Amino acid sequence: MRAGYLYLLIAVMLLGLSFLKDKQKTREAVKATFKIFYVVLPVLVFVLMGLIQAYVSREFIVSILGQKSGLLGIFYAEIIGSIALFLPPAVFPFGGYLHDNGASYGAIAGFVFTAILIGVTTLPLELKLFGKRFTLARNLLTFGLTFFIAILMEGILP
């Protein structure tokens, strides 16, 4: 059985449980689910994956993000993650795609962390709410610590 069906089964069971407890809240949850579905479904990222499939060779991906690219590969992956305008749900399919095409676990970890935690789109809001010093320090520290974690993950995962 596909893992997806199992999750669907659990989701429907939870919906039922929620319905038994509170009908109104469950109605709200179902409404929210439709909205979330559109946000979560990363169609444009699928297209980007298709474009890479058509125009970028596997050798190229391996050469910049593969195991042999080492520390520089992790660094490149972090740069890509920092500037990529991905919503979190799009990060994993794209990361998996890169891994299937030869990117190392370390590079993927670098990409995943920076794509979720550093965002060009959220930068203005962070600056406005928390100020220059906080924003600069948090983003730089995130980039730096991600680098170390990515190296460790590369070492731990086969």
Partner 1 sequence: MKKMLKNDAFWFLSLSVLIILVVYGFNAGKGVIVAKTVYDTFFEVLDIIVAVSIFIGLFQVWVKPQTIVKLLGKGSGLKGFVLVCTFPILMGGSLFTVFPLLKALREKGARIGAIASFITAWGGKAPLLPLESKFLGWPFALVRIGFVIIFAFVMGFLMDWVGENTEKIKQEKSFLVDL
Alpha helices in the chain (DSSP H): 3-21, 23-40, 43-55, 58-65, 70-83, 88-100, 105-117, 123-156
Q: Which is nearer to partner 1, 9 or 71 (CB)?
A: 9
Query: What distances in angstroms separate CA 137 from CA 77, 79, 99, 126, 144, one per listed residue?
Result: 20, 17, 30, 12, 10
Site string for partner 1, 104-143 (x = CB under 8 A): -x--xx--xx--xx-x--x--xx--xx--xx--xx--xx-
Q: Which is nearer to partner 1, 40 or 72 (CB)?
A: 40
Q: How far apart (Å, rounded) are the C-alpha atoms in residues 31 and 53?
A: 36
Select from 60, 75, 92, 151 the one that contacts partner 1 (CB under 8 A). Answer: 92
Q: How far apart (Å, rounded) are the C-alpha atoms in residues 110 and 145?
A: 10
Part of the chain binding partner 1 (CB under 8 A), chosen from 48-56, 57-65, 71-79: 48-56
Part of the chain binding partner 1 (CB under 8 A), chosen from 62-70, 74-82, 88-96: 88-96
Q: How many residues of this chain interact with partner 1, rule: CB under 8 A?
A: 73
Which amino acid is located at 57 in the chain?
S
- If binding is defined by CB under 8 A, does position 57 make contact with partner 1? no
The HSE-up count of residue 101 (CA atoms within 13 Å, CB side) is: 20
- If binding is defined by CB under 8 A, does position 3 make contact with partner 1? yes
Give, as ranges, the residues between 4 and 33 that touch partner 1 (CB under 8 A): 4-5, 7-8, 10-12, 14-15, 18, 25-26, 28-33
